[in-house]
Amino acid sequence: MSVTIKDIARELGVSVSTVSYALNGGPRPVRDDVRDRVLATATALDYRPNHLARTLITGRSFTIGVVPTELTTNLTKSPYFTGCLDGIVNAAEVLGQDVLLYTRFDQTSPVAFVNALLDGRADGLLFLAPAVDSPALELLAGKIPIAIASGKEVPDLPSFTCDNRHGVHQAIAHLVGLGHTRIGTLHGKLHLVDGIERLKAFRAAMAEFGGDLREEWIAGGDFHPQGGFDAGHQMLSKSPRPTAIFCANDEMAAGLVQAAYALGLAVPEDISIVGFDDAPTASMMHPSLTTVRQPLEELGAAAMHALIAQINGDAGAPHIQFETELIIRKSTTSPKEDP
């Protein structure tokens, strides 16, 4: 027969509520020496908490729902997603939370989707890169604690982003410093904040540095390797072509490298390439990828901590922007004199 908190209380001669508060960290404080005795006795008796009973007592599931931007077959292969999720899961472990990944999406029925998120399985929701036009955040407002990673700022909701403007500026300044003026870009999905901001920042940086900005050197790659290959192949097949291309993420940059090779072009001798994210594969590509690093694990962890604080009654809603860092590797060099 399994050990219960009543058994621990009987063993120590304390109340059941005291044992419950000690094991669950509240809601009422317990003296340190009493808590230590409770935990030691629970270990000695091989006590294992009943999750359902804990939920009934506290009214909490101690589970956080993670809602990615969209469900695709490549979701778990995305460096952005896995980087953020690593930070989220690690923070959840420290905070004593489970993580639930929502994988059922009904894009044709926002109300049904929202109802699924409010079914009681999660104490709060952490949205990863929500679409700027998604009605979910507005429909959920005030009904459940929410934090946002890489999304638009919403009043009274904590949100965490990287400094896209500065990151793109770093990339373009690097290329201009090498002597490039004919610079193109592969942008991401324009219903996502990162896609919108990085394209806007590219245009602003090109205007600042006085580069040769041509619309035919601006193409969408959907933040995906195949998109980078297809858009890059088309761009590099034209004449004149850019001597350098900034990609709004490393996955598109990887596809672009393959497109250049397919056309018989050398990287970086014929075309310099810069990515964004500093995915784990960036340093292992051939050539290794010059890219803009954003601290995805730190971003995910910060969002998790802010969400738990909100669940625990902290009314603060921080909007934190993380700094970026340009990582220079082998995929960029000075342009040829007559490209």
Residue 322: in which H helix or E strand, if any? strand 319-322
One domain for residues 248 and 158: no
Tell me if 289 sits within 8 A of 282, measured CB to CB.
yes
Residue 219, SS3?
strand
Contacts of 48 (CB under 8 A, 6+ apart): 2, 3
Contacts of 190 (CB under 8 A, 6+ apart): 196, 199, 220
Q: Which two tokens stand for residue 167?
A: 């990151």
Q: What is the pLDDT of residues 145-179, one digit of tens each?
A: 999 999 888 888 899 999 999 999 999 999 999 99
For residues 215 and 319, what is the distance between their CA atoms, to the nearest angstrom? 34
Extended strands (E) in 75-193:
98-101, 124-128, 146-149, 159-162, 183-187
Structural domain count of the chain: 3
Whether 330 maps to a domain, the answer reads: no
One domain for residues 272 and 314: no
One domain for residues 131 and 40: no
For residues 309 and 325, what is the distance between their CA atoms, to the nearest angstrom? 29
One domain for residues 128 and 223: no
CA atoms in the 13 A half-sphere facing the CB of 274: 31
**Between 113 and 328, the higher pLDDT residue:** 328
One domain for residues 152 and 70: yes
One domain for residues 13 and 122: no
Whether 302 maps to a domain, the answer reads: yes
Cβ count near 208 (within 10 Å): 12
Whether 334 maps to a domain, the answer reads: no
Tell me if 197 sits within 8 A of 165, measured CB to CB.
yes
Domain boundary at 256, 279, 294, which? 294
Q: Assign 339 a pLDDT band (cuts: 50, 70, 90).
A: very low
Q: For 205, which DSSP code?
A: H
pLDDT of residue 51: 54
Q: What is the pLDDT of residues 198-249, one digit of tens each?
A: 999 999 999 999 988 899 999 999 999 999 999 999 999 999 999 999 999 9
CATH number of domain containing 40:
1.10.260.40
pLDDT of residue 68: 87
Q: Which two tokens stand for residue 269?
A: 């001798």
Q: What is the pTM of this model?
A: 0.82
Say yes or no to pLDDT of 117 above 90. Answer: no
Q: Among 28-32, 279-283, 297-301, which stretch is predicted with the lowest mean pLDDT?
A: 28-32
One domain for residues 255 and 312: no
Q: What is the pLDDT of residues 49-86, one digit of tens each?
A: 655 555 545 556 789 999 987 645 466 778 999 999 99
Q: Which amino acid is at 272?
A: S
pLDDT of residue 231: 98
Tell me if 236 sits within 8 A of 265, measured CB to CB.
yes
CA end-to-end span of the chain, whole Å?
A: 78
CATH number of domain containing 108:
3.40.50.2300
Whether 85 maps to a domain, the answer reads: yes
| Burial class of residue 44, CB neighbours in 10 A (0-12, 13-18, 19+) | exposed
Say yes or no to pLDDT of 26 above 70. Answer: no
Whether 36 maps to a domain, the answer reads: yes
**Between 112 and 319, the higher pLDDT residue:** 319
Q: What is the pLDDT of residues 290-302, one digit of tens each?
A: 999 999 999 999 9
Cβ count near 9 (within 10 Å): 18
Taking residues 240-264, what's their average pLDDT?
Answer: 97
Looking at the chain, the whole-number percentage of residues with pLDDT higher than 90 is 59
One domain for residues 144 and 32: no
Whether 155 maps to a domain, the answer reads: yes
**Between 121 and 163, the higher pLDDT residue:** 163
Tell me if 241 sits within 8 A of 235, measured CB to CB.
yes
One domain for residues 174 and 272: yes
Cβ count near 55 (within 10 Å): 15
pLDDT of residue 180: 97
Taking residues 310-336, what's their average pLDDT?
Answer: 91
| Burial class of residue 2, CB neighbours in 10 A (0-12, 13-18, 19+) | exposed
Mean pLDDT of the chain: 88
Whether 153 maps to a domain, the answer reads: yes
One domain for residues 244 and 175: yes
Residue 113: in which H helix or E strand, if any? helix 110-117
One domain for residues 82 and 228: no
Whether 338 maps to a domain, the answer reads: no
One domain for residues 70 and 135: yes
- The domain in which residue 117 lies consists of 63-162+296-323
